[in-house]
């Protein structure tokens, strides 16, 4: 009996022994013969000659992928077998009346000659990019390929090329990595389902990853799991988005229907279906080891407030992608360095959940240290971060540093609470908008000192859109006939809506009362009180 081992160096010994039996055969032909029929080595030895080979050489075939890594498989190697080699492989001289392994292939009813069958078979694999020797090794390592018909094989190859979009090299890599994609019926079922149900809307790259990373046996029930997602509430128009943005192997193939149901049930209190639609990768995560511990940590931090936890998840579903240890590290940092308690930390997370993605050392520490240097205590730091949470996320060099320099230049003192409040008020606008706001004030005759005075009274003036500010200031001077200096007394004027508040009240006051009123009284009183005053003024005029 000939036993094949994984040591290629023993092949010369075997070749020399077999050449003694067939002197007209080349070593290459005998090498090919051994690889092709390693699965039935005992039968081969008995047909070759009743000669006992001692010691028995140990030769076994590596998996195809191993040959590929060693360079034996190459898209550039398309050597056709010589006619002499084929005759050698299928001649009675070596095999007598016994049919060879390759004659088992049901290539076509019209192909009855084993040589013709084999030639057609090799041509199909040559189209993929496999040479003669590589094809023989492929079938030697995966005998299940021998039971599929040539028509089935061709259909599978065409499906992978046309529907999935595999080019020649990609298909070669797939076959080398997972040869059973050519034989498994589950592959046809998967392709038919995706084609018929979604009409090519699933990204080809997504299907390629699925086929490359998943054993075909895990495709069983794929259609049922997709339909489960539809039945649980994901709209049909959104299912494409979900399938294109998940790891299909993890989320569906490796999960049972019950596991998927459990995951959706767990997420239900947090508006789970919308979470999945917004962040499909959520269903990639393991329920028991990832989703439950991460959600539990946030819920405990909130003091058991499930609704507030849901608000955090809905605001940033990606927060579930962070390990508990990671979020816990941020919480502990805010406790120890900023002096915040859990209630305050959770409120900051509610306002700005992306804080968990900010580097503790590169972003959080220097920014909180700046607030401390400006004289803010723990309570003031909390209030600052609630009002200006983006301060923790902006780039220092491209945003914060530029604004700090600009504010210091117009008169703010460095390392003061006023400067901290000013930088907080500018976090929602760009550096370009801040500069245009300052230029606008200067163009109307206000000095830098005036701007600082206004912004200290009403810090929001620095964060308003410069175009909107320009319209209000123009209306104030040209239509209301007011002096620009009135803004110094009441800068909050710039925060009211021009059409819905400023124009409406000014025009009504002029038409019914005819008296001059301060900007503060004109705009700050409630709508009900303003209406009552207007009614009384009208009655006096009528008397």
From residue 293, how far is each of 255, 273, 411 by CA, in Å? 19, 19, 50
359 pLDDT tier (thresholds 50, 70, 90): very high
Residues whose CB is less than 8 angstroms from the CB of residue 67 and which lie 6 or more positions away in sequence, other chains included: 73, 134, 137
What does the pLDDT read at residue 358?
A: 94
What does the pLDDT read at residue 467?
A: 95
Burial class (CB in 10 A: 0-12, 13-18, 19+), 526: exposed
Determine if the pTM surpasses 0.75.
Answer: no
pLDDT tens sequence across 429-441: 999 999 999 999 9
What does the pLDDT read at residue 542?
A: 52
Is 159's pLDDT higher than 50?
Answer: yes
Which of 220, 205, 133, 209 lies closest to 174, judged by CA? Answer: 209
Q: Across-strand partners of 65?
A: none
118 pLDDT tier (thresholds 50, 70, 90): low
Q: Taking phi first (over 0 means left), then psi (-120 to 50 degrees means alpha), and beta for anything else, what does residue 214 get?
A: beta
As a whole number, mean pLDDT of residues 276-301 equals: 97
38 pLDDT tier (thresholds 50, 70, 90): very low
From residue 109, how far is each of 106, 150, 322 by CA, in Å? 7, 10, 59
As a whole number, mean pLDDT of residues 186-195 equals: 93
What does the pLDDT read at residue 419?
A: 95
Which of 453, 398, 386 lies closest to 422, judged by CA? Answer: 453
What does the pLDDT read at residue 155?
A: 86
As a whole number, mean pLDDT of residues 382-388 equals: 96
Instruction: Please answer whether residues 259 and 265 qualify as being in contact, where contact means their C-beta atoms are separated by less than 8 angstroms.
Output: no
CA–CA dist 499, 475 (Å, integer): 11
Mean pLDDT of the chain: 80
87 pLDDT tier (thresholds 50, 70, 90): very low
Neighbours of 51 (CB within 10 A): 11
Is 13's pLDDT higher than 70?
Answer: no
What does the pLDDT read at residue 514?
A: 59
CA–CA dist 440, 474 (Å, integer): 11
Which of 501, 417, 431, 439 lies closest to 463, judged by CA? Answer: 431
7 pLDDT tier (thresholds 50, 70, 90): very low
As a whole number, mean pLDDT of residues 453-466 equals: 93
Find which of 6-10, 78-82, 108-112, 490-494 is predicted with most confidence, using mean pLDDT.
490-494
As a whole number, mean pLDDT of residues 211-215 equals: 94
What does the pLDDT read at residue 242?
A: 97
What does the pLDDT read at residue 120?
A: 65
Q: Which of 114-128, 282-296, 451-465, 480-494 has the lowest mean pLDDT?
A: 114-128
115 pLDDT tier (thresholds 50, 70, 90): very low
**What three-state secondary structure class fits 471?**
helix
Looking at the chain, how many residues does it have?
A: 543
Neighbours of 109 (CB within 10 A): 8
**Of residues 299 and 525, more confidently modeled:** 299
Is 483's pLDDT higher than 70?
Answer: yes
| Percent of the chain surpassing pLDDT 70 | 75
What does the pLDDT read at residue 111?
A: 38
Angle at 33 between CA 27 and CA 39, to 5 degrees: 140
Give 3-state DSSP helix, strand, coil % of the chain, rounded to 5. Answer: 70, 0, 30
| Percent of the chain surpassing pLDDT 90 | 57
Is 527's pLDDT higher than 70?
Answer: yes
What does the pLDDT read at residue 21?
A: 41
What does the pLDDT read at residue 537?
A: 56
Spell out a b/e string for 189-201, using b for 16 or more CB atoms within 10 Å of the CB, else e: bbbebbbeeeeee
pLDDT tens sequence across 61-76: 334 444 334 343 433 3
CA–CA dist 410, 489 (Å, integer): 19
From residue 206, how far is each of 197, 213, 250, 356 by CA, in Å? 16, 11, 13, 29
Which of 176, 198, 196 lies closest to 188, judged by CA? Answer: 196
CA–CA dist 43, 49 (Å, integer): 10
Instruction: Please answer whether residues 419 and 371 qualify as being in contact, where contact means their C-beta atoms are separated by less than 8 angstroms.
Output: no
Tokens 């057609």 belong to residue = 120
Which of 250, 152, 254, 159 lies closest to 200, judged by CA? Answer: 159
What does the pLDDT read at residue 337?
A: 96
């Amino acid at each position: 009996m000939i036993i094949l081992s994984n040591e290629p160096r023993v092949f010369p010994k075997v070749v020399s022994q077999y050449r003694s039996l067939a002197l007209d055969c080349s070593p290459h032909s005998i090498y090919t013969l051994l690889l092709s029929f390693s699965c039935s080595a005992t039968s081969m030895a008995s047909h070759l000659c009743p000669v006992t080979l001692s010691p028995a050489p140990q030769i076994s075939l590596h998996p195809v992928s191993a040959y590929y890594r060693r360079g034996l498989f190459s898209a550039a190697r398309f050597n056709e077998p010589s006619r002499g080699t084929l005759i050698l492989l299928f001649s009675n001289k070596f095999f007598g009346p016994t049919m060879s392994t390759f004659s088992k292939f049901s290539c076509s009813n019209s192909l009855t000659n084993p040589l013709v069958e084999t030639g057609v078979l090799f041509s199909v694999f040559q189209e993929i990019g496999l040479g003669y020797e590589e094809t023989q090794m492929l079938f030697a390592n995966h005998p299940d390929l021998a039971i599929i018909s040539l028509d089935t094989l061709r259909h599978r190859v065409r499906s992978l090329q046309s529907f999935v979009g595999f080019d020649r090299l990609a298909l070669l890599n797939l076959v080398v990595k997972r040869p059973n994609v050519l034989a498994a019926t589950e592959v046809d079922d998967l392709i038919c389902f995706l084609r018929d149900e979604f009409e090519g809307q699933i990204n080809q790259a997504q299907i390629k990853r699925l086929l490359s990373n998943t054993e075909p046996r895990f495709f069983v029930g794929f259609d049922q799991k997709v339909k489960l997602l539809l039945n649980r509430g994901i709209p049909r128009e959104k299912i494409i988005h979900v399938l294109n943005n998940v790891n299909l192997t993890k989320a569906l193939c490796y999960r049972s229907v019950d596991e998927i149901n459990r995951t959706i049930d767990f997420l239900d209190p947090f508006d789970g279906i919308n979470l999945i639609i917004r962040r499909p990768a959520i269903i990639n995560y393991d329920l028991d080891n990832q989703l439950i511990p991460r959600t539990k940590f946030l819920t405990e931090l909130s003091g058991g407030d499930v609704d507030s936890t849901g608000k955090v998840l809905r605001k940033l579903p990606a927060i579930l992608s962070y390990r508990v240890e990671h979020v816990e590290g941020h919480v502990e940092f805010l406790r120890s360095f900023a002096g915040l308690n859990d209630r305050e930390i959770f409120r900051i997370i509610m306002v700005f959940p992306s804080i968990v993605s900010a580097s503790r050392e590169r972003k959080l520490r220097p920014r909180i240290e700046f607030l401390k240097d400006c004289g803010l205590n723990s309570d003031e730091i909390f209030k600052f971060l609630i009002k200006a949470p983006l301060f923790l996320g902006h780039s220092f060099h491209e945003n914060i540093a530029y604004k700090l320099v600009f504010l210091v230049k117009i008169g703010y003192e460095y390392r003061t609470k006023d400067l901290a409040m000013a930088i907080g008020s500018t976090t929602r606008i760009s550096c370009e908008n801040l500069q245009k706001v300052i230029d606008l004030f200067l163009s109307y005759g206000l000095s830098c000192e005036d701007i600082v005075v206004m912004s200290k009274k009403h810090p929001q003036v620095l964060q308003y859109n410069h175009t909107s500010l320009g319209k209000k200031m123009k209306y104030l001077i040209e239509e209301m006939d007011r002096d620009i200096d009135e803004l110094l007394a009441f800068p909050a004027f710039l925060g009211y809506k021009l059409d819905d508040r400023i124009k409406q009240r000014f025009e009504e006051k002029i038409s019914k009362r005819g008296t001059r009123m301060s900007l503060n009284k004109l705009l700050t009183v409630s709508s009900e009180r303003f209406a009552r005053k207007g009614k009384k003024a009208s009655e006096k005029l009528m008397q």
